[in-house]
Amino acid sequence: MFTKRNGPVYEQANPDKRKKGPVVAKIAGIIVVMLAALYLLAGSIYSLKENEYAVVTTFGVPKIIEESGIHLKFPYVQRVTRVPKTINGFPIGYDANTDVSVDGESFMITRDYNFVNVDFYVEYRVTDPVKYLYSSENPVAILKNLTQSYIRDTIGLYDVDSVITTGKSEIQASIKEKIVTRLDQEDIGIQLVNITIQDAEPPTQEVINAFKNVENAKQGKETSINKANQKRNEDIPAARAAADETVKTSQAQAEERVNEAKGQVARLNELYAEYQKYPLITKQRMFYETMEEILPDMKVIIERSDGSTQTMLPLESFTGSDAGISETSKEE
């Protein structure tokens, strides 16, 4: 270090201090470069999930990336927008978070000029990410507006009973068909998957109770019809079986009587043949047989020419059977 000697003061700089300045600047520059490189590298890498599309835009030209995993892009030159592949949905007529009814969406009028609250749930998915992002400002809002319009238009074609009870499936199918056709015309990269009626009821509790009574009556009617059909299905086979049994019994009885009649005819034919040969004897035999059948305990007393009598028991002795005279009486 220089000392003052009758003149200007001269001071010699520290050699270590002069070397330290450039080193610090160099290190700072390296750190800045490394941070910039890390920043650029971080902006060049992005990951894509299985349920996502990536639309990469390069100078305004979009490209769709569908493969999941890690991808590279040019920072500040390329921009990545993620679009879900999964099915998404939104409610109409109620708040999904609080489950509170939204009267402005659910309150409608039917064909028979009745009021009804109808809640829907709409499911959709993205089919073309580029059109989904750039063909319209808000495709989901467009879908919701179209759905509300077609819901009111379709509900107005049905009476309140159909909306609340029996016509739900038909109404859902009609609304879905209309929306699908319109989305094909709009071509905004979104597709309707399904639309479901969550709930449909009249706006007042009294009307709700009345419709519940109507529904209960319809269910009771269906139950009665089903029971009647079941009873019919049980009784008809039983009746047919009974009828078959009666027919078979009648046929057996008819056959038995026919055979009996044939036997009697054959017997009469034999008697007639004998009668033709011996008319008097045949008449007597027929008489005795008839009397034996009518009066089985009858005694036949025959008076002889000499004045004696003869009692014949049984009558077979007169009819040519093997029985003989059972008793001979004395002359009176």
pLDDT at 18 exceeding the cut of 60: no
Instruction: Give the model's pLDDT for residue 172.
Output: 94
pLDDT at 43 exceeding the cut of 70: no
* Alpha carbons within 13 A on the beta-carbon side of 78: 18
CATH code reported for the domain at 88-203: 3.30.479.30
Instruction: Enumerate the domain spans of the chain.
Output: 1-84, 88-203, 278-319
In angstroms, the CA 119 to CA 230 distance is 38
Whether pTM exceeds 0.95: no
Q: What are phi and psi of 308, to 5 degrees?
A: -85, 160
Does 244 or 2 have the greater pLDDT score?
Answer: 244
183-187, 276-280, 319-323 — which one is most confidently predicted on average? 183-187
Residue 295, CA distances (Å) to 94, 282, 287, 291, 315 in order: 103, 20, 12, 6, 10
- Kindly report, residue by residue over 185-211, the tens digit of the pLDDT: 999 999 999 999 998 888 766 666 776
- Kindly report, residue by residue over 166-184, the tens digit of the pLDDT: 889 999 999 999 999 999 9
